[in-house]
Amino acid sequence: MESPISQYLGTVHREISTLDEGQPSHSTPVLAEGDPDGFGIAIATVDGHVYEVGDAGQEFTIQSISKALSYAIALEDHGFGFVDERIDVEPSGDAFNEISLQTNGRPDNPLINAGAIATTALIDPGREGRAARILEAYGRFAGRELHVDEASHRQESRYGDRNRAMGYLMKSFGIIEGDVEQALDDYFLQCSISVTARDLALVAATLANNGVNPVTGVRAATPAVNARVLSVMSTCGMYDDSGHWMTEVGIPAKSGVGGGIIAVLSGEMGLAVYSPPLDEHGSSVRGVETCRRLAGDLQLHFAHAT
Ligand code: GLN
């Protein structure tokens, strides 16, 4: 017997499947091959229940959702003061790939490309190397071992000259120190980590659960870092659509050009959607609509008084 939550998600999935606007990203061939009909929704609660519908087990690249997780790692490595000096927490109002730096070269926030590249450069390689640390940390959020889509990694680099330009510009300002090519390669790698909507729902549920994965019980972020990540997602997570998003949906969220979106309801649940066709901001059309629908039906907007 299907649970009422699964039945409800099935209805939402069926209705939103008819939305056929937008196109998969064309910034790399792997992204351009994203299935326009692929559509999955997953919810994970902070007490560890997972509900899935549609293509919630389909793997795709995490892309910009990675930025929130790498920000957590850099904050754990260096603390707030050190990271804040190099990466601000102001919404830029610009598109995700805008070359928007402050006059001292500091990016506005860690969730646009410039800020994300600077963030990755701050991740301590430790003994095992930065890539291994990134995979391990993301795996703690998702609750399973993740891997890199190698074709995507190669293509992000091959078609990554705009990101490369931002990296070198920030190096010239001293915001990025050390090997900028390595930092860029690690950024391309983190964008290419394969995930499913189910994985992302668990990532979101971990953020909703004060940094502890609700299924494995493993801590992925300290409470202070977890809270900071959510704060920045609230103001900057949906790029140049962040203001509208907060007004209409009212839940901290992060999208990626692979077609993924996560939304976090603190203390309650994480929501994730996969659907490759994107809107003009680079967010999944069906993903945005699913979040809007759930926020309305379930009264999830932060300003809603019960
Ligand atoms: N890899 C993409 C880039 O760097 C990620 C962008 C995104 O998901 N918005 O351009």
Looking at the fold, whether 209 and 247 belong to one and the same domain comes out as yes
Q: What is the pLDDT of residue 1?
A: 66
Ligand 1 centroid distance, CA of 157 (Å): 11
Ligand 1 centroid distance, CA of 6 (Å): 32
Looking at the fold, whether 16 and 73 belong to one and the same domain comes out as no
Contact of 279 with 214, CB cutoff 8 Å: no
Identify the active-site residue in 203, 249, 257, 288: 257
Contact of 86 with 118, CB cutoff 8 Å: yes
Share of the chain above pLDDT 90, in %: 92
Looking at the fold, whether 186 and 229 belong to one and the same domain comes out as no
Looking at the fold, whether 50 and 99 belong to one and the same domain comes out as no
138 labeled binding residue: no
Is 156 near ligand 1, meaning CB less than 6 Å away? yes
- Mean pLDDT over residues 206-213, rounded? 98
Report if residue 258 sits inside a domain: yes
Counting the structural domains of the chain, the total is 2
* pTM, entire model: 0.97
Q: What is the pLDDT of residue 95?
A: 86
Q: What is the pLDDT of residue 230?
A: 98
- Nearest in space to 60 (alpha carbons), one of 197, 154, 155: 197
Q: What is the pLDDT of residue 306?
A: 67
Is 61 near ligand 1, meaning CB less than 6 Å away? no
Is 187 near ligand 1, meaning CB less than 6 Å away? no
At residue 272, what are phi and psi to the nearest 5 degrees? Answer: -140, 145
Higher confidence at residue 167 or residue 96? 167
* pLDDT 10s digits, 227-271: 999 999 999 999 889 999 999 999 999 999 999 999 999 999 999
Which of 113, 187, 239, when mutated, tests ligand 1's pocket best, judged by the most ligand atoms within 8 Å of its CB?
A: 113
Looking at the fold, whether 57 and 206 belong to one and the same domain comes out as yes
Is 113 near ligand 1, meaning CB less than 6 Å away? yes
Complex ipTM: 0.94
98 labeled binding residue: no
Is 64 near ligand 1, meaning CB less than 6 Å away? yes
Higher confidence at residue 3 or residue 43? 43
In three-state secondary structure terms, 104 is coil
Q: For residue 162, what are the domain limits?
A: 65-191
The H or E element spanning position 271 is: strand 269-274
Report if residue 226 sits inside a domain: yes
Is residue 186 very low, low, confident or very high in pLDDT (cuts 50, 70, 90)? very high
**In DSSP terms, which residues pair with 261 in a beta bridge?**
255, 273
The DSSP secondary structure of 20-52, one letter per residue, reads ---B---SSHHHHTS-TT--EEEEEETTS-EEE
CATH assignment at residue 270: 3.40.710.10
